[in-house]
């Protein structure tokens, strides 16, 4: 989901003929558990690495940078609602990273 959101937002900024390579990773971790071991608080972290090269063989690196965003949120009893919240959080974090990448590419 991360790249599916970020890629369309960045294609418009890449008009110089450079090759843009994006890799992403999502990590969800429990940061607080109650006394019975049930997760109370989670943290989702998105990491996106970009590498901009000048040739098709990716040998000449023009720019290389990593972008990170995270969000901490409480667990919910309704797992469907929790799942929907996590999708919204991931979309919001992806939007934040996409905006950061666009600013970086235009600088």
Q: What is the pLDDT of residues 59-75, one digit of tens each?
A: 677 778 999 999 999 99
> Counting runs of H as helices and runs of E as strands, what totals does the chain give?
2, 3
Nearest to 9 by CA among 63, 54, 67: 67
List the domains of the chain with CATH numbers. Answer: 2-105 (3.30.160.150)
pTM (two decimals): 0.79
pLDDT for 57 equals 65
Given CA atoms 50, 12, 92, 101 in this order, what sign does their dihedral have?
A: positive
């Amino acid at each position: 989901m991360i790249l599916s959101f970020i890629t369309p937002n960045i294609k418009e900024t890449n008009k110089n003929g450079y090759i843009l390579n994006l890799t992403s990773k999502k990590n969800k971790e429990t940061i607080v558990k109650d006394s019975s071991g049930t997760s109370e608080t989670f943290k989702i972290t998105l990491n996106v690495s970009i590498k901009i090269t000048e040739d098709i063989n990716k040998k000449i690196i023009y720019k290389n940078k990593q972008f990170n965003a995270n969000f901490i949120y409480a667990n919910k009893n309704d797992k469907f609602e929790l799942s929907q919240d996590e999708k919204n959080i991931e979309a919001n974090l992806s939007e934040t990273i996409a905006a950061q990448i666009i600013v970086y590419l235009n600088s």
